[in-house]
C-alpha cells in the first residue's frame, strides 16, 4: 500500500526575531486509507505537523526535511504543486467551523465554489455532490441547508458542513485538527461516527490531531504522541495503551481520571510541571525536566528506538517491555 503522507525528519524554525525551533526531527507516515492520530498537549507541535501536509508553514519559517503528500514534495513546493494538493488531494477540518466559512455566503455556494473554480466542475455536478455529502453527514434537511447561511446552523451542524466540504473532491487524506474538541461529548461521538464511516467508504486516510488520548485510541489504528516538537512514541493504539514505553505516554495515561473510577488505594498521577514548547525545553531529552526516571544520560538527545513493527520510542529509559535497542532514524 502506498503512503498518502510521508513526513521524514521534519524540522521547523521560526525566524521572527530570535530563531525559535518548533519542530525537531518529526517523522510520520500515513498509508492510504489509514487512520492515524497525532496526540499532544499545547505547544507540542501537533498542529504545525499536520498543516505541513498542506505545505502551510507558520509565519516566516526555515524548514528542513521532507513532507510528501500524495507523492508531492511540499517542502519548497511550487505554487502549482501546492494548489494541486490543496484543491483535490488533501482536505482539512479545523476546530472552529465558523472561522473557516464565509458568514455572508450560503452553505451551497461555500460547498460548490471550490470544485467549480479550481477543478472546473459543472454546477450540476458540484450541486449533486454537495447534496450527496450533506446527506452522508446526517444533516436533517440537505436541500434546505444548501440555501441557508452559516449563522442559521449550530456549531455541530456547521462542523458537519465543514466535513462535507473537505470531502467534496474525495481527497486521499483528511486532516482533522481538534475537529471535535469544541463540541459536546454526545455531538462529538456522533460526528466522529459520521467521519469514520464516510472516510472508510471513500477510502480517505485520516490524520486525527487531538489532545485526547482516549479519543485517539477509540478512533485510530495508530497513534503518534508528540511532546515539545518531537514524536516521542508511536505505535498501534492498543499497544500504546497496554504497554506504553515513553514516560510521557505513561504520564498522560495516568493523568486521566478513569470513567470507571480509580482502583482502590491508588490516586491520580499527575506529571509535574507544565507542557513545554520545543524552544523552552531542555536540550538532550526534551521531557527530562518533567520526568521521574531522569538520569545524567538524559542530557544527551535520545534517538528513536524501534520495537517490533511500527513501534518507536525516543527515550533512554523506556518502561514496559524493553524495546530492542536498535537505534533507528537517530540523528547526531
Partner 1 sequence: MNAVPGPAERAQAVLAQGVHKSYWVGPTEITAVRDVSFTVRPGGALGIVGESGSGKTTLARMVVGIEEPDAGTLTVAGEPMLTRPRGASARVAQAKRAQMVFQDPYLSLDPRRTARQSLEDAVRAHTSGTRADIDARVDELLQHVGLGEREAGARPRRLSGGQRQRVAIARALAVDPAVLVLDEAVSALDVSVQAQILRLLVRVRAETGVALLFVSHDLGVVRYVCDDALVMFRGEIVERGPVGHLLDHPEHPYTRLLRASIPQEGWDPEAIGQARRDFLAGLG
- Residues at the contact surface with partner 1, assessed by CB under 8 A: 41-42, 138, 184-194, 196-197, 211-215, 217-219, 251-252, 254-262, 267-272, 274-275
> 229 near 278, Cβ under 8 Å?
yes
Say how far apart CA 55 and CA 72 lie, in whole Å: 10
Rank residues 120 and 261 by Cβ distance to partner 1 and give the closer one.
261
Rank residues 7 and 250 by Cβ distance to partner 1 and give the closer one.
250
Smallest gap from Cβ 269 to partner 1, in A, equals 7
> 246 near 270, Cβ under 8 Å?
no
> 225 near 26, Cβ under 8 Å?
no
Smallest gap from Cβ 197 to partner 1, in A, equals 6
- What cell numbers appear for 93 in the block? 477540518
Smallest gap from Cβ 124 to partner 1, in A, equals 31
- E-strand stretches of 198-319: 205-210, 222-227, 230-236, 305-306, 312-313
Smallest gap from Cβ 297 to partner 1, in A, equals 23
Smallest gap from Cβ 187 to partner 1, in A, equals 8
Smallest gap from Cβ 326 to partner 1, in A, equals 30
Shortest CA distance to 278 belongs to which of 52, 21, 27? 21
- E-strand stretches of the chain: 3-14, 20-31, 35-39, 61-69, 72-73, 90-93, 173-177, 205-210, 222-227, 230-236, 305-306, 312-313, 326-327
Smallest gap from Cβ 153 to partner 1, in A, equals 15
Rank residues 23 and 220 by Cβ distance to partner 1 and give the closer one.
220
Rank residues 39 and 126 by Cβ distance to partner 1 and give the closer one.
39
Smallest gap from Cβ 192 to partner 1, in A, equals 5
- What cell numbers appear for 168 in the block? 467534496
Rank residues 101 and 194 by Cβ distance to partner 1 and give the closer one.
194
* Run of H or E residues at 254: helix 247-255
Smallest gap from Cβ 191 to partner 1, in A, equals 8
For 112-121, the CB contacts below 8 A with 24+ separation are: 112/168, 114/87, 114/165, 114/168, 114/169, 115/168, 115/169, 118/83, 118/87, 118/88, 119/87, 119/88, 119/169
Rank residues 130 and 137 by Cβ distance to partner 1 and give the closer one.
137
Rank residues 153 and 215 by Cβ distance to partner 1 and give the closer one.
215
Angle between helices 155-167 and 123-136 (to 10 degrees): 130
Rank residues 113 and 254 by Cβ distance to partner 1 and give the closer one.
254
Rank residues 85 and 228 by Cβ distance to partner 1 and give the closer one.
228
> 238 near 218, Cβ under 8 Å?
no
Distances (CA, A) of 278 to 18, 66, 171, 283, 287: 14, 19, 32, 9, 10
Amino acid at each position: 500500500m502506498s503512503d498518502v503522507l510521508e513526513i521524514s525528519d521534519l524540522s521547523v524554525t521560526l525566524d521572527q526575531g530570535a530563531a525559535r525551533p518548533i519542530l525537531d526531527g518529526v517523522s510520520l507516515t500515513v498509508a492510504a486509507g489509514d487512520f492515524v492520530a497525532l496526540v499532544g498537549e499545547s505547544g507540542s507541535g501537533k498542529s504545525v505537523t499536520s498543516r505541513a501536509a498542506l505545505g502551510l508553514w507558520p509565519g516566516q519559517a526555515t524548514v528542513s526535511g521532507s513532507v510528501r503528500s500524495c507523492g508531492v514534495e511540499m517542502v519548497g513546493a511550487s505554487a502549482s504543486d501546492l494548489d494541486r494538493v490543496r484543491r483535490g488531494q488533501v482536505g482539512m477540518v479545523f476546530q472552529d467551523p465558523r472561522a473557516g466559512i464565509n458568514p455572508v455566503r450560503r452553505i451551497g455556494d461555500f460547498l460548490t465554489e471550490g470544485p467549480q473554480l479550481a477543478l472546473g466542475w459543472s454546477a450540476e455536478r458540484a450541486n449533486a455532490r454537495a447534496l450527496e455529502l450533506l446527506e452522508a453527514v446526517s444533516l436533517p434537511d440537505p436541500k434546505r441547508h444548501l440555501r441557508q447561511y452559516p449563522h442559521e446552523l449550530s456549531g455541530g451542524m456547521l462542523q458537519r458542513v465543514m466535513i462535507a466540504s473537505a470531502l467534496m473532491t474525495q481527497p486521499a487524506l483528511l486532516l482533522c485538527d481538534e475537529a471535535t474538541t469544541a463540541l459536546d461529548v454526545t455531538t462529538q461521538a456522533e460526528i466522529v461516527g459520521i467521519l469514520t464511516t464516510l472516510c472508510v467508504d471513500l477510502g480517505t486516510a485520516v490524520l486525527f490531531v487531538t489532545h485526547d488520548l482516549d479519543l485517539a485510541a477509540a478512533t485510530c489504528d495508530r497513534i503518534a504522541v508528540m511532546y515539545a516538537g518531537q514524536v516521542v512514541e508511536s505505535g498501534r493504539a492498543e499497544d500504546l495503551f497496554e504497554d506504553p514505553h515513553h514516560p510521557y505516554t505513561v504520564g498522560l495515561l495516568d493523568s486521566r481520571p478513569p470513567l470507571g473510577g480509580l482502583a482502590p488505594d491508588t490516586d491520580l498521577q499527575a506529571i509535574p510541571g507544565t507542557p513545554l514548547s520545543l524552544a523552552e525545553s531542555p536540550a538532550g531529552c526534551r521531557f527530562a525536566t518533567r520526568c521521574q526516571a531522569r538520569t545524567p544520560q538524559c542530557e544527551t538527545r535520545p534517538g528513536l528506538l524501534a520495537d517490533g513493527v511500527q513501534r518507536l520510542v525516543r527515550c533512554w529509559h523506556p518502561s514496559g517491555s524493553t524495546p530492542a535497542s536498535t537505534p533507528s532514524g537517530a540523528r547526531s
